[in-house]
Amino acid sequence: MAAPEYVLGYSEQEQKRLMKQASILRGWTERFFRAAGLAKGMRVLDLGCGMGDVSLLAADMVGPAGEVLGVDRDAAALGLARERAAQNGCAGYISFQQNNLEEIRPGELFDAVVGRYVLLYQADPAATLRHVASMVRPGGRLIFHELDFGTVVPPWPEAPLWMEVYSIMSEAFRRGGNPPDFGRRLARTFLDAGLPWPTIQAEIPVGGEPGSYVYGWVADTVRSLIPRIEQLGLSTAAELQIETLAARMEAEAVALGAQLIGPTQFGAWVVKP
């Protein structure tokens, strides 16, 4: 099965968006990693590392006695990830490799394989998981942070612009072949990969207040999705008035006092038998 074309693209704006998004997600990812037992001294493989944010977080957690390898197919992102590792003083124990996930063949086994927002982009996520599970030592961990934005939870009072934009975002993923509700499929995916039922935790972002991060997060994501949205005939940059989208979603929610429910964040992990 061929992987669908990568829906968010590889633009400079997408690189910046990934780093902004990473600062929103870091606390949740860290909690999932801690609960899953990521600890000092471990050797970690980060799948689809992009700009390196999860690799950098893992490096903070494993420390200089540990080791992190980030893998992504995007050479430009990896160049920036290397610079960031040097700036953070952890270049000695992080390395990055340009590769497709299905082609990784490391020599040694890892204590943990981790990934954030990566399984949903695979043509066959269970096959990817099965492949990478073979790189984890028995007693090691597989830990994934994925999301579910497949269905808009109507805010109360209802906020029509938020609901429309959220639905377009979700539809652009669905019709492009990437399940926006992948977070809900984690248990089944682990089982299909031949792994035990994972421990799963969830966190839900909530916004609506003045200055909330959710407006910029959604508007930036929609901006990266514009080529796909236009190609699918879901809307256009002009119709969405992309330049003012974040401000208009904020004005709407604040005027209504609407509590906005964002994408559910799922952490799922197993200890490899």
* Listed ranges 117-125, 134-142, 246-254, 258-266: which one lies at the site for ligand SAM (CB under 6 A): 117-125
For every residue of 213-271, DSSP letters joined together read: HHHHHHHHHHHHHHHHHHHTTS--HHHHTGGGHHHHHHHHHHHHT-BEE-PEEEEEEEE
Q: For residues 59 and 41, what is the distance between their CA atoms, to the nearest angstrom?
A: 10
Among 44, 56, 90, 101, the residue binding ligand SAM under the rule CB under 6 A is 101
Binding residues among 222-241 for ligand SAM as defined by CB under 6 A:
none
When asked if residue 68 is in the footprint of ligand SAM (CB under 6 A), the reply is no
CB of 194 to ligand SAM, least distance (A): 20
**Minimum CB distance to ligand SAM, residue 170 (Å):** 15
Instruction: Decide: is 26 part of the binding site for ligand SAM (CB under 6 A).
Output: no
Nearer to ligand SAM, 83 or 209 (CB): 83
Specify the pairing of strand 264-271 against strand 206-207.
unpaired
Q: Are strands 260-261 and 110-116 parallel, antiparallel or unpaired?
A: unpaired
Window 147 to 166, contacts with ligand SAM (CB under 6 A): none
Q: Does 100 bind ligand SAM (CB under 6 A)?
A: yes
Considering only 118, 126, 165, 186, the residue that binds ligand SAM (CB under 6 A) is 118
Closer to ligand SAM by CB, 175 or 248: give it.
Answer: 175
CB nearer to ligand SAM: pick between 82 and 248: 82
Q: Which two tokens stand for residue 107?
A: 């020599």
Q: Which of 45, 66, 72, 260 binds ligand SAM (CB under 6 A)?
A: 72
Q: How far is it, in rounded angstroms, from Cα 29 to Cα 54?
A: 8
Q: Check residue 220 for interaction with ligand SAM (CB under 6 A).
A: no
Tell me how far apart the alpha carbons of residues 145 and 266 are, in angstroms, rounded to a whole number. Answer: 6
Q: Which is nearer to ligand SAM, 54 or 85 (CB)?
A: 54
Identified binder of ligand SAM from the candidate list 7, 22, 68, 112, rule CB under 6 A: 22
Q: How many amino acids of this chain bind ligand SAM (CB under 6 A)? A: 21
Residues 45, 131: Cα–Cα separation, whole Å: 13
Q: Strand 264-271 and strand 136-148: pairing?
A: antiparallel
Asked if residue 121 binds ligand SAM (CB under 6 A), the reply is: yes
Taking only Cα atoms into account, the Rg of the chain, rounded to an integer number of angstroms, comes to 19
Please give the Cα distance from 259 to 155 (Å, whole number).
Answer: 6
DSSP string of 37-88, one letter each residue: T--TT-EEEEET-TTSHHHHHHHHHH-TTSEEEEEES-HHHHHHHHHHHHHT
- Can you tell me which of 44, 45, 58, 77 binds ligand SAM, judged by CB under 6 A? 77
d(CA 141, CA 112): 4
User: Smallest distance from the beta carbon of 44 to ligand SAM, in angstroms?
Assistant: 13
- Between residue 39 and residue 58, which ones bind ligand SAM under the rule CB under 6 A? 48-50, 53-54
Residues that bind ligand SAM (CB under 6 A): 3, 6, 8, 18, 22, 48-50, 53-54, 72-74, 77, 100-101, 116-118, 121-122
